[in-house]
Amino acid sequence: MPCSRSSSLLSKGATTRVTTRLALVFVFLGTLAACSETNLDGGVVNVQMPPDDFVRDPFEGKDLYYQYCGDCHGINGLGSDKGPSFVRNVYAPDHHADYAFYRAVAMGVKQHHAKFGDMPPVPGISPEQVAHITEFVRAVQRRAGIE
C-alpha cells in the first residue's frame, strides 16, 4: 500500500514522547559534563562548595587571603608580578561568579586574562575557607566600585 502524504512513521503522541526523551538525554549529558571538571593535568576534580547556609566572613577571609593568595594576587587583591589583580572589572561577580574561586583553588586555572602563566591548584584549603576568601575579595571589589 503506498504512503499518503498525510501519514507519518510515528504518530503525533509517539513523536512527542521521542522528542521528550531526546531532550531529557541532552539535559542529562549536559549536567554530567558540567559536573565533570578536568584540572590542568587532565585529572577529574570534584569542586567542593560550602553548605548553602554557610556565613562568609570577610575579616576571616582577609587573614586566609594573605596566607594562601596574597603572594601572587598582592596586597588587597591589587596583583603582583606573579598574579593578576582581582580589582578589575574582568573579575566582577557578573563575569567571574563566586564558583570561579572554588574552581580555581581546586583545579588551577589556565592563563586567560593576564600573562602570568597558569595558576596551579591550591591544596589544603577547605570550601569554607574559600568562601571567606571570596567574601574578602568581593568586599575589596565593592570598595573599589566593582559590583
Mean pLDDT of 77-87: 94
Poorest-pLDDT segment among 43-52, 64-73, 97-106: 43-52
User: In terms of domains, do 131 and 78 share one?
Assistant: yes
User: In terms of domains, do 34 and 78 share one?
Assistant: no
pLDDT value, residue 24: 47
Enclosing domain of residue 137:
45-143
Average pLDDT across the chain, whole number: 81
142 or 47, which is more confident? 142
Q: Per residue in 13-37, pLDDT tens? A: 655 565 555 544 444 444 434 445 6
Tally of structural domains, the chain: 2
Question: Does residue 27 lie in a domain region?
Answer: yes
Q: Residue 133's domain is classified under what CATH number?
A: 1.10.760.10
User: In terms of domains, do 36 and 81 share one?
Assistant: no
User: In terms of domains, do 25 and 94 share one?
Assistant: no
User: In terms of domains, do 53 and 30 share one?
Assistant: no
- Per-residue pLDDT band for 129 (boundaries 50, 70, 90) equals very high
Helix (H) or strand (E) holding 44: strand 44-45
The DSSP code sequence of 82-135 is SS--S-SGGGSTTTS-THHHHHHHHH-B---SSSS-PBPP-TT--HHHHHHHHH
User: In terms of domains, do 16 and 64 share one?
Assistant: no
Using the CB atoms, write b or e for 97-113: b if 16+ within 10 Å: ebeebbbbbbbbbeeee
pLDDT value, residue 39: 62
User: In terms of domains, do 129 and 81 share one?
Assistant: yes
User: In terms of domains, do 91 and 132 share one?
Assistant: yes
pLDDT value, residue 112: 82
User: In terms of domains, do 50 and 67 share one?
Assistant: yes
Mean pLDDT of 113-138: 93
